[in-house]
Structure 1
Amino acid sequence: MITEIPYADKGGGKTRPALVLSSYEHNQNRRDLVVAKISGTGAFSAWDVRINKWPEAGLMKPSKVVCDHITVVSKASAIVIGHIDTGTLAGVKKKVGLLLSL
């Protein structure tokens, strides 16, 4: 999806891709979505997961999910652009679980 992601270190934000982390049940009853930022920059950290099939995800270039940049955005501002592959999703679940000590 594409949405406005707030900057972590200053006011404002940037319209960019994001991966919805919140469950179907959550999303049915709320006006917001819990998301992780997607980035196309080359720098890579231990909290990033490469998106294996980035064209199918609706992305313009090779990208990664930044699993330690989780935020809440308005559902009304979100535009679906594609779907993440199961291998990438499994990696994201593992990283987010480690991040949140689950």
Structure 2
Amino acid sequence: LWGCMLGSGALAGVAGACEIMGPIGQLTPSVSPGYGFAAIIVAFVGRLHPIGVIFASFVMALFYIGGELSQTRLNMPDDITGIFQGILLFSLLACDVLIHQRLRWRR
């Protein structure tokens, strides 16, 4: 267990270092603060299951691509992708609450 945690932490560090040394600074002027928010949504949509997270990451990629296309082709605001992600997360959490915490009407 410890070896797996240390190995995954080292791989995450290498991925972050490659991201900072690669496109950051050359293609974009700053580090995007949205990675953590997208990762939380992917984890919730994938239900914390490794296979589910893979499929959820494809769904999030579609949100990003669709948001960028709507920005360029339809002249929509820059934050439209974040709004779509927020609606997805809110809908998922609301459905979970309504399914697991059954509401009862009392008189």
One fold, TM greater than 0.5?
A: no
- What is the TM-score normalised by the length of structure 1? 0.25
The structure, 1 or 2, with the larger RCO (C-alpha pairs under 8 Å, 6+ apart) is 1
Answer 1 or 2: which has greater strand percent.
1
- What is the TM-score normalised by the length of structure 2? 0.25
